[in-house]
């Protein structure tokens, strides 16, 4: 099958499966991104995320993950929902980042990408490849940029004109050539709202984020006690953070998502407990079954909930 036809068929199938966008990039080493990543690691901006240092060669070159890889097919799906906006406009207690209020996107994307990969094999023939959803050393934002799905904003998030940054990313790395998309240009302009709004100064300069200061890191990745200097700066956030996305002008124009599994669950927005810090481990497991929040583990979640309750004045 010729690359033009293959590109058209795979893109259409991705949209049919529920993804909002699908882009194609030629596989190969990420030389510029490798230099930036190495500098970031050398400055210890990854905090305790030791896994960021491992498999460096695979992280910057997808052909190390899939021998003979010719293409990286990136997909994204939006998670902007009116239910979240209505909730956030009235609720003043501890908060969970919007992406984590529904079903675990890893599970949602993996199921859809498996179907896309199977369709690719049925359509094109003998295909070798793998699918990824934040599950291996893949620089998903860099590949999405190369696939024409957006640009890297000053908060280091991927942005595009139709979905802002309210979306999640997955990819398929395969040994099939396609017609490759042109990268998007930067449309952040002189705006610095994300930088100005960050309470921990994690976005210490445009396009540079100190991960060890990011509220998402402090409430999810950090397994030891949160440093005292950040405990009142994390505000009402007990799992993740949306501050730099909430203030981004592109997110006010973003289209709404349409995958039901990514919508916020009622039991997460309206839990059967007066205080999040009072939930039992059994309640935690029931409320967050199949949710990204389970990644935090019960003791850490309760600790962060108590801190967020104190900061928000809800206790």
The shares of helix, strand and coil residues in the chain, as percent rounded to the nearest 5, are: 45, 15, 40
Q: Nearest Cα to 159, choosing from 251, 37, 22, 262?
A: 251
Per DSSP, 28 falls in state: -
Q: Which residue carries 């899939």 as its tokens? A: 66
8 Cβ neighbours under 8 A, 6+ residues apart: none
307 Cβ neighbours under 8 A, 6+ residues apart: 226, 231, 234, 238
Q: Give the span between the Cα atoms of 74 and 167, in whole angstroms.
A: 12
With contact defined as beta carbons under 8 Å apart, do 230 and 308 qualify? no
Q: Which residue carries 């990408």 as its tokens? A: 113
Q: Nearest Cα to 251, choosing from 174, 123, 158, 164?
A: 164
With contact defined as beta carbons under 8 Å apart, do 20 and 78 qualify? yes
Is there a catalytic annotation at residue 20?
no
Q: E strands along 111-154, which residues? A: 129-132, 151-152
- Annotated catalytic residue within 61, 104, 126, 134: 134
Residues 215-222: contacts with CB under 8 Å, at least 24 apart: 215/240, 215/241, 215/243, 216/97, 216/240, 216/241, 217/47, 217/49, 219/296, 219/304, 220/295, 220/296, 221/47, 221/48, 221/49, 222/47, 222/48
Q: Which residues are catalytic?
A: 134
């Amino acid at each position: 099958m010729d690359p033009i036809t293959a590109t058209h068929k795979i893109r259409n199938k991705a949209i049919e499966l529920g993804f909002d966008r699908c882009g194609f990039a030629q596989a190969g080493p990420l030389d510029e991104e490798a230099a930036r990543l190495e500098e970031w690691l050398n400055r210890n901006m990854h905090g305790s995320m030791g896994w960021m240092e491992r498999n460096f060669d695979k992280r910057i070159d997808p052909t190390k993950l899939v021998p003979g890889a010719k293409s990286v097919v990136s997909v994204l799906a939006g998670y902007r929902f009116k239910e979240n906006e209505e909730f956030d406009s009235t609720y003043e207690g501890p908060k969970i980042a919007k992406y984590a209020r529904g079903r675990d996107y890893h599970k949602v994307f993996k199921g859809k990408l498996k179907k896309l990969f199977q369709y690719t094999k049925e359509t094109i023939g003998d295909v070798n490849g793998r699918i990824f959803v934040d599950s291996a050393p893949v620089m998903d934002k860099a590949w999405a940029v190369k696939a024409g799905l957006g640009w890297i904003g000053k908060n280091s998030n991927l942005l595009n004109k139709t979905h802002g940054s309210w979306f999640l990313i997955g990819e398929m790395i395969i040994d099939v050539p396609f017609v490759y998309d042109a990268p998007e240009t930067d449309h952040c302009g002189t705006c610095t709202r994300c930088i100005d709004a960050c309470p921990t100064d994690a976005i210490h300069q445009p396009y540079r984020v100190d991960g060890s200061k990011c509220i998402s890191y402090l409430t999810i990745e950090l397994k030891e006690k949160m440093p005292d200097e950040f405990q009142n700066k994390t505000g009402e956030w007990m799992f993740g953070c949306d501050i730099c996305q909430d203030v981004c002008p592109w997110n006010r124009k973003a289209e709404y998502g349409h995958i039901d599994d990514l919508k916020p669950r009622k039991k997460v927005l309206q839990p059967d407990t007066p205080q999040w810090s009072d939930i039992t481990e059994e309640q935690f497991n029931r409320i967050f079954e199949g949710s990204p929040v389970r990644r935090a583990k019960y003791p850490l979640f309760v600790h962060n909930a108590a801190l967020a309750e104190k900061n928000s004045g809800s206790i």
